[in-house]
Amino acid sequence: MPARVTAKLRLEKKGRGGKTVTVVDGLPRNAEFLSALAAELKRACGTGGTAFDTGVELQGDQRDRVREALTRKGYVVKGA
């Protein structure tokens, strides 16, 4: 695992019935780590979401909260 994890943040709306989701991508491919991070971010944002193979998806535009939570954990956050 790299010393500094760089998380890429983006907003997606395509193919989701017009709903907006915040995607945190570029994370280590580790299912356990991702599901724990997803749970933590969902709690921090008070919203639903899921972990997928390289990242986490959260319902709604949660960019500010996610950036804050990840920065607190010592991650480098890039993107929207």
User: Tens digit of pLDDT for each residue in 54-73?
Assistant: 899 999 999 999 999 999 99
- Radius of gyration over every alpha carbon of the chain, rounded to an integer in angstroms: 12
User: Range of 13's domain?
Assistant: 6-75
**Count of CB atoms within 10 A of residue 30's CB?**
12
Task: State the total domains in the chain.
Answer: 1
| pTM for this prediction | 0.89
User: Tens digit of pLDDT for each residue in 23-47?
Assistant: 999 998 999 999 999 999 999 999 9
Task: Tell me whether residue 1 is in a domain.
Answer: no
Task: Tell me whether residue 60 is in a domain.
Answer: yes
**CATH code of the domain covering residue 39:** 3.30.780.10
Tokens of 2: 């790299």
Model pLDDT, residue 79: 86
Task: Tell me whether residue 18 is in a domain.
Answer: yes
Pairing of strands 49-52, 21-25: unpaired
